[in-house]
Amino acid sequence: MNITIFQSRQFRVFKKHKLAQFGAITLVFFILVAVFADLIAPKDPNKMNLRHSYKAPSSEFFLGTDRIGRDYFSRLVHGTRVSLGVGLGGIGIATIIGILFGGLSGYLGGRIDIFLLKLSELIICFPSIVLILMIVTIVGQSLLNLILIFGFLEWVGLYRLIRSLFMSLKEQEFVEALEAFGVRKFSIMFQHILPNAIAPITVWMTLTLAGMILAEAGLSFLGMGVPLQVPSWGNLLNGAKDLRVLENYPWIWIPPGIVITLAVLSINFLGDGLRDAFNPKS
């Protein structure tokens, strides 16, 4: 009997474990940086000093300075708070809306379902960025607006998931029994049916969070996301649009890019690990 067969499968399971663990630890690290940004950042991220424009990294400025002399490292640290905040805020809102709408649609059906379904179809017709920019154009650009827009647009995926879950589970006998006992619909929906969905909801949350962080980065890079004075990962990369920066000042564009990639990568690893963990082993 071949021992190597054992090795390859267990190795695979363990390896997935490791990546997910790495993802979780990195994510926690980023969250800690975001929470304690004030303590970690050595200088005021908004303090300008035109005499220190584009200085290379040194012991005083860990990551050098940007065009108007602000400490880049401090901006990166505070940017973590903003970028993660936008992502987590958006995810929070989207999750609540997705579950609420999905539950109402799936369980109650009828007009509500038709309306919500149509709404979700309309949102899906637009490429995400196009729709977000269209709305930003109408309502104006601000940090709060960004979070709200993310939240109000990204719920569609979760909505579909929850809706089909409720639609299928609604027919099952335990629900009939609960209804017969006079348990209120609201309670049935959220106390009895929903717990079945914890797994796919969590997986969806991690993957969509990754998407939101990338979206914020892209929008801010274009100058249309987080307002430019507020540091965010994408905003910092906005500085790289200048060719001089690309040619001469690598500390401006490399660190934010790597940080974004690392953050999104770890969320993806975590999401993958969660998906495997929740998958019943065949």
237-256 residues near another protein, rule: CB under 8 A? 237, 240-241, 243, 246-247, 253
Candidate list 39, 50, 51, 138; residue touching another protein; CB under 8 A: 138
CB of 45 to another protein, least distance (A): 21
Q: Does 130 bind another protein (CB under 8 A)?
A: yes
- Kindly indicate which of the ranges 50-58, 69-77, 185-193, 257-265 contains the residues binding another protein, using the contact rule CB under 8 A: 257-265
- Kindly indicate which of the ranges 11-19, 57-65, 82-90, 189-197 contains the residues binding another protein, using the contact rule CB under 8 A: 11-19
CB of 100 to another protein, least distance (A): 22
Q: Could you tell me which of 125, 210, 115 has the C-alpha nearest to residue 163?
A: 115
CA angle 141, 144, 148 (to 5 degrees): 100
List of residues contacting another protein (CB under 8 A): 1-2, 5-6, 8-10, 12-13, 15, 118, 121-122, 124-131, 133-134, 136-138, 210, 214, 217-218, 221-224, 234, 237, 240-241, 243, 246-247, 253, 257, 260-262, 264-265, 268-269, 272, 281
